[in-house]
Amino acid sequence: MSTDTDTDGPNEADARERLIDLAAEFYDQFAEGEVPTMAIPTRTKSNIEYDEDKDVWVYGDRQSTRSAKTVSGAQKLLKATYVIDFLAQQLEQDRSSTLRELYYLSESFDHEEAQFNSQDESNQLIEDLEIVSDVRREEFHMRPEESGATVMGPLLIREQTRRGEREIHCQEDVGEGGYQIPNNPDTIEFLENDADFVLCVETGGMRDRLVENGFDEEYNCIVVHLKGQPARATRRLTKRLRDELGLPVTVFTDGDPWSYRIYGSVAYGSIKSAHLSEYLATPDAQFIGIQPADIVEYDLPTDPLSDSDVNALESELEDPRFQTDYWREQIELQLDIDKKAEQQSLASRGLDFVTETYLPERLDEMTVI
């Protein structure tokens, strides 16, 4: 199989140059007697627009500005400058670091105002730099803490590592835990596969049930464990499996509003990473999770909706990612029955029900199998 990806990123030299160009813009503004600024798209639901050409949700035209006119704005630009310097050195030395390490590293910055008050603040700055430089953090050699997300299925890959190349079959060469997805899935080359589709699974318990029951072998399925809200690496690998191998993607989650958002992040992208939707989102991914209609049909064990669940469902009725007849019908039904259910609630009908009945019937209805 080809290793070409649909979105080529810059190499390390290009990434470093773009970062330095950002710092140079601040310098030029100073030199010309202007107040330094940096414009960032407003990262809110109201600034999300559907790109019909790319079939994903992206940021609109609204922007917020980091300006040195205010103390707060000046501190943000100062922190940006220090981080740019750190990242440029990191790239020059061919090193890498985690988002958590960057937060602690800031304590060594020689200007106290350049230090971060929380990791959320440093994470957001990295996202800002991604947007304005058009360079993904993976090209900055920045990585999150290990997500632990895994893949199990009939797929042979070649992985590029610091210790050289290695070939791995994601069934035959791994234990029951599966193959752990690396921080940058673009280092993976797909060599061979016998898969018919991809099944992304929210919870570890359900993922283990599928593997124990041999679902991946019986249905020639690549099982991707999302591990809750999926990391960028997980979404990127899922998109590559769809785009490069032509495999249909399905998403199997709990039946609650937070799990619907997990599906939404796989299919349409998330609000905080809308600048990467073309790189991460799989627009034709299909939802195969627990539906409110399933709760009624199978009389599944449930919990009542909390106030926050109700608020989240009502918010999703206005969310552009859920503006379809299907989602409106399901969400309104859930609000009506006032119940939610987990994937594991299917075990009330037997441990094999999910692999022998529920998933095969749903996949057949979707014409996936």
The arithmetic mean of pLDDT across residues 98-109, rounded, is 88
10 Å Cβ neighbour count for 364?
10
pLDDT at 270: 77
The arithmetic mean of pLDDT across residues 101-124, rounded, is 89
Q: Alpha-carbon distance 300 to 214, whole Å?
A: 24
Q: Are strands 164-169 and 155-161 parallel, antiparallel or unpaired?
A: antiparallel
Give me the chain's average pLDDT, please.
Answer: 89
In the chain the beta strands, taken as DSSP E runs, fall at: 37-41, 48-51, 56-59, 63-67, 97-98, 142-143, 150-152, 155-161, 164-169, 179-180, 188-193, 197-201, 221-225, 249-252, 286-287, 303-304, 339-340
Q: Is 153 left (phi over 0), alpha (psi -120 to 50) or beta?
A: left
pLDDT at 8: 52
- Cα-trace Rg, the chain: 22
Model confidence at 99: pLDDT above 50: yes
Of 82, 104, 268, 279, which is the active-site residue?
Answer: 104
pLDDT at 9: 55
Residue whose tokens read 């070409």: 4
Q: pLDDT tens-digit profile of 149-186?
A: 899 999 999 998 777 889 999 999 999 899 999 988 99
DSSP string, 165-208: EEEEETTTTS-TT-EEPPS-GGGEEEEEE--SEEEEES-HHHHH
- Percent over 90 (pLDDT), the chain: 54
Helix and strand totals (H; E) in the chain = 14, 17
Q: pLDDT tens-digit profile of 251-269?
A: 999 999 999 999 999 998 8
Indicate if 50 belongs to the active site: no
Q: Alpha-carbon distance 163 to 208, whole Å?
A: 30
Which tokens go with 56? 């994903």
pTM: 0.81
Q: Alpha-carbon distance 137 to 18, whole Å?
A: 12
pLDDT at 272: 74
Count the residues in the chain: 369
Cα dist. 205→157, 209, 342 in Å? 26, 6, 11
Regarding predicted confidence, which is higher, 240 or 57? 240
pLDDT at 146: 65
pLDDT at 240: 97
Among the listed residues 201, 179, 92, the one whose alpha carbon sits nearest the alpha carbon of residue 140: 92
Residue 243: phi and psi, rounded to 5, are -75, -40
